[in-house]
Amino acid sequence: MKQYDEWNEIKKQTQQINSNLCIKAREIYWTRIGINIGNEEYGKGSDFVRPVIIIRQLTHDLFIGVPTTTTIKSNNDYFHNISYREKINHTVVQSSAMILQQKVFSKKRLLSKIGTVNKEEFKVIVLKLKNLIDPTEVVGLPEGEL
C-alpha cells in the first residue's frame, strides 16, 4: 500500500518553505516528489525524494524538471542515460533521465544540489523533450538516439 498519509505530512511541511534558491538549467537537485498515482514517478525514502534535472526556470517559484532513476534504461524517445559527479563525495553517478516524466515543480520541493549535467547531454535531453511534445518534427538528435 502506498504511503499517502506519510507523504501528506511531508507535503504540509514542504508547503511552508520559502525558497529563495537560485537555480540554473542543467543542475540536479534532490527533490521531494512525493507519492503519486498510477505510473507517475514518485520519490523514495522518508522524504519521498528523487534527483531531478532543472530544465528551465519558469517563474520565481516554478521550474520544468526531469526526474532521474539509477535504473539504467535504453536510450530512446523517453529516456536518456547520463553520468555526473556528485557534489559532496565526488563519485560518478550513472542514471537515466526520465524524459516521459517531465513536469512543472515548485522550488519549495528542492532540498539540495547534488550535481550538474554536462552541456552535451543536456542538449540531447532538451531535444528529446521537444520531440516528445511535437513528434511530427524530429529535430537534431545524433544518429541512433531515437
Residue 45 lies in a domain: yes
Nearest residue to 34 (alpha-carbon basis) of 60, 58, 12: 12
Q: Look at residue 83 and tell me whether its pLDDT is greater than 80.
A: yes
> Which residue type sits at 69?
T
Per-residue model confidence as pLDDT tens digits over 56-72: 999 999 999 999 999 99
Residue 42 lies in a domain: yes
Residue 144 lies in a domain: no
Per-residue confidence (pLDDT) for residue 111, from 0 to 100: 96
- Domain CATH code at residue 101: 2.30.30.110
Residue 68 lies in a domain: yes
Phi-psi region of 100 (alpha: psi -120 to 50; beta: other; left: phi over 0): alpha
Nearest residue to 90 (alpha-carbon basis) of 112, 55, 116, 65: 116
Number of domains into which the chain is organized:
1
Domain encompassing residue 90: 4-133
Residue 126 lies in a domain: yes
Residue 129 lies in a domain: yes
Per-residue model confidence as pLDDT tens digits over 13-69: 989 998 889 999 999 999 999 888 888 888 999 999 999 999 999 999 999 999 999
State the pTM of this model.
0.90
